[in-house]
């Protein structure tokens, strides 16, 4: 089966209860989306698998911290002064644009992928030179554009009545984890290394939201902050030494050098060990996280040749980072970052110590220290959207699309359909649904529409198995189970499904 086009994905998302543009009744505002019942069912599965992999599977901890914080938190974290993107304004109609993206799009349209890639990491001055040289104008009125200036992406709010305290919606979930780290560590009597994670909303006043869930203004992150002692070389996770043979795993790498030389290769293959020895990866814990991220993606069903790790250039490193890898996946012709791995050192804890006056050091193995941090930060919505893009196929024969999700990602274990509008069939199907639900399965029940239409719905929404209850079921207790991957059907006894 061929991959479906991006327009098919967008169309399906709106038709099948996957996504709804937020506040549609009042006109849309770019960068905000609601999830419909199918969308949230799939997203919940991604979140559950992240939790299983990065929290429970590694003996890590989870917290839930506030979305709003007062200004001094972001003074300490550096976001107030550093969390900016380059913006240009139209001198005529005052429309605003993210200037690096204007240059990137200009070269993308020309088919010059090398320059488009370069534009993603250009300093302000070069961006402005490109805008001038290529006569890039306002997309709305054709007016001349101003020079790039930094625009802070944080969304401001006031806390309390009559002006109150200046606050901001968090631009990353991480800061709450840093502020609570010491208390969580001390209260639990834990040992380093220990990861503390959180799933939650983050907000960025993006200048140009784009590609639906790829760049939003309100989105969800799944972040893990791994606290460790940089003075300890050996790596123990969950009380066990890590088997270093995992570092022989090959990854697809887009190195800084390749980007700087404008290489036309999408990536080269190298082992994690080579990345360590060449200094691309700063330490063993970072290497371990890269290995886990890759395997997490494989389990979700992403193919290896569509995943690459991009070494983030020194010039574009976030203010807190001493080394970043972006994990990117191919999404309709370009690579999009779905997670960032960052060596945040002790930057955040030390800054909170400095600004709050609170000693952030802990005692670990009789040593007093402020731990260092490796962060793995996934964008949940991007992960969701790129997975949908990777798994949606065209089926000319069926006449509709098929979303091939796997056991980790499918929204429901089964769809249950009574064949026709007949009370006896409906009652039998409801009894089956109730039994399966009582066994902890997730069931999608639908009784209206022709059976063909209901199969189409299951196929397009990633529900792999559809059970049809028909007249034979009433006689011999068997049902038809249809597999959406290839539309094949099997006759199975009801008991064998309930026992699964
Ligand atoms: N705490 C580190 C951090 O926030 P980031 O690279 O800015 O790092 C992490 O964001 C992840 O969050 C990205 O890899 C991406 O998947 C997601 N993300 C960032 N900005 C986003 C946006 N505007 N819309 C959707 N997802 C976004």
* Whether 312 and 434 share a structural domain: no
Residue at which a domain ends, from 152, 178, 206: 152
Show the tokens assigned to 435: 């039994």
> In this structure, what CATH number is given to the domain that contains residue 475?
3.40.50.800
CATH code: domain of residue 139: 3.30.40.230
For ligand 1, which residues put their CB under 6 angstroms from it?
172, 174, 204, 206, 215-216, 219, 221, 223, 337-340, 375, 377, 379, 381-382
User: 217: which DSSP letter?
Assistant: S
How far, in Å, are 91, 131, 432 from residue 144 at the CA level?
6, 10, 65
Q: Are residues 370 and 268 part of one domain?
A: yes
**310 with 161, same domain?**
yes
Clarify whether residues 269 and 201 are in a common domain. yes
Ligand 1 mean position, distance from CA 447 (Å): 40
Record the pTM: 0.94
Within-domain flag for 400 = no
Whether omega before 193 lies within 30 degrees of 0, making that bond cis, reads: yes
Give the total number of structural domains in the chain.
3
Q: Is residue 265 part of a domain?
A: yes
DSSP secondary structure of 278-289: TTSS-SHHHHHH
Q: Is residue 77 part of a domain?
A: no
The answer to whether residue 21 sits within a structural domain is yes
On whether both 198 and 340 belong to a single domain, the answer is yes
Element (H, E) at 100: helix 99-110
> 138 lies in a domain?
yes
| Residue to probe by mutation, ligand 1, list 173, 342, 377, most atoms within 8 Å of CB | 377
Evaluate the CA torsion angle 357, 363, 367, 372 in order and state its sign. Answer: negative
- Ligand 1 mean position, distance from CA 222 (Å): 10
Q: Are residues 308 and 364 in the same domain?
A: yes
Q: Whose CA is nearest to atom 16 of ligand 1?
A: 379
Last residue of a domain, one of 152, 172, 201: 152
Structure confidence at residue 500 (pLDDT): 65
Of 153, 199, 201, 219, the one to substitute when testing ligand 1's pocket (max ligand atoms within 8 A of C-beta) is 219
Given 113, 136, 152, the domain boundary residue is: 152
Residue 406 lies in a domain: no
- Are both 116 and 40 inside the same structural domain? no
456 shares a domain with 380: no
Q: Is 66 part of a structural domain of the chain?
A: yes
Q: Tens-of-pLDDT digits for all 500 residues of the chain?
A: 899 999 999 999 999 999 999 999 999 799 999 999 999 999 999 999 999 999 999 999 999 999 999 999 999 999 999 999 999 999 999 999 999 999 999 998 998 888 888 888 888 899 999 999 999 999 999 999 999 999 999 999 999 988 789 999 999 999 999 999 999 999 998 999 999 999 999 999 999 898 999 999 999 999 999 999 999 989 999 989 999 999 999 999 999 999 888 888 999 999 999 999 999 999 999 999 999 999 999 999 999 999 999 999 988 888 888 889 999 999 999 999 999 999 999 999 999 999 999 999 999 999 999 999 999 999 999 999 999 999 999 999 999 999 999 999 999 999 999 999 999 999 999 999 999 999 999 999 999 999 999 999 999 999 999 999 999 999 999 999 999 999 999 999 998 987 76
For residue 481, give the H/E element and its range. Answer: strand 478-483
Residue that the structure tokens 């799009």 belong to: 105
**Residue 403 covered by a domain:** no
How does pLDDT run across 334-384, given as a tens digit for each residue?
Answer: 999 999 999 999 999 999 999 999 999 999 999 999 999 999 999 999 999
Provide the residue range defining the domain that includes 210: 2-72+155-390
Residue from 195, 221, 309, 381 to probe ligand 1 pocket by mutation (most atoms less than 8 Å from CB): 221
Q: Are residues 316 and 204 in the same domain?
A: yes
- For atom 21 of ligand 1, the residue with the nearest CA is 215
Residues 35 and 169 in one domain: yes
Ligand 1 centre to CA of 193 (Å) is 24
């Amino acid at each position: 089966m061929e991959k479906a086009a991006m327009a098919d994905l967008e169309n399906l998302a709106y038709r099948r209860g996957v996504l709804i543009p937020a506040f549609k009744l009042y006109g849309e505002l770019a960068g905000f989306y609601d999830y419909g019942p199918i969308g949230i069912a799939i997203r919940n599965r991604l979140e559950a698998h992240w939790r299983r992999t990065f929290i429970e599977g590694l003996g890590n901890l989870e917290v839930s911290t506030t979305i709003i914080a007062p200004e001094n938190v972001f003074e300490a974290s550096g976001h107030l002064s550093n969390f900016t993107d380059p913006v240009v304004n139209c001198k005529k109609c005052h429309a605003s644009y993210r200037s690096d993206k204007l240059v990137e799009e200009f070269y993308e349209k020309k088919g010059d992928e090398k320059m488009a890639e370069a534009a993603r990491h250009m300093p302000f001055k070069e961006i402005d030179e490109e805008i001038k040289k290529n006569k890039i104008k306002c997309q709305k009125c054709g007016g001349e554009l101003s020079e790039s200036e930094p625009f802070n992406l944080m969304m401001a709010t006031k806390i309390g009545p009559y002006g109150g305290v200046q606050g901001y919606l968090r631009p990353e979930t991480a800061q709450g984890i840093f502020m609570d780290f010491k208390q969580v560590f001390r209260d639990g009597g834990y040992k380093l290394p220990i990861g503390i994670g959180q799933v939650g909303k983050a907000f960025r006043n993006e200048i140009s939201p784009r590609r639906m869930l790829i760049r939003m203004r309100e989105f969800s992150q799944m972040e893990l902050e791994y606290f460790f002692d940089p003075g300890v070389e050996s790596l123990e996770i969950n009380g066990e030494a890590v088997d270093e043979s995992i570092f022989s795993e090959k990854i697809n790498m887009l190195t800084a050098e390749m980007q700087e030389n404008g290489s036309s290769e999408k990536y080269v293959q190298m082992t994690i060990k080579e990345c360590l020895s060449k200094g691309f990866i700063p330490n063993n814990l970072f290497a371990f996280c890269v290995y886990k991220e890759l395997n997490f993606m494989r389990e979700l069903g992403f193919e290896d040749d569509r995943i690459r790790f991009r070494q983030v250039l020194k010039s574009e490193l976030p203010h807190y980072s001493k080394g970043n890898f972006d994990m990117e996946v191919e999404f309709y012709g370009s690579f999009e970052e779905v997670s960032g791995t960052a060596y945040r050192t002790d930057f955040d804890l030390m800054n909170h110590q400095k600004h709050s006056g609170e000693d952030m050091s802990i005692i670990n193995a009789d040593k007093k220290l402020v731990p260092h941090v490796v962060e793995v930060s996934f964008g949940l919505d991007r992960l969701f959207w790129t997975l949908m893009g990777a798994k949606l196929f065209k089926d000319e024969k069926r006449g509709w699309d098929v979303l091939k999700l796997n056991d980790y990602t499918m929204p429901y274990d089964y769809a249950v359909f009574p064949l026709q509008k007949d009370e006896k069939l409906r009652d039998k199907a409801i009894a089956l649904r109730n039994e399966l639900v009582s066994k902890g399965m997730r069931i999608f029940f639908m009784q209206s529409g022709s059976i063909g239409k209901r199969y189409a719905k299951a196929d397009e929404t990633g529900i792999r198995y559809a059970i049809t209850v028909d007249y034979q079921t009433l006689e011999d207790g068997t049902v038809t189970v249809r597999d959406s991957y290839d539309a094949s059907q099997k006759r199975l006894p009801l008991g064998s499904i309930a026992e699964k």
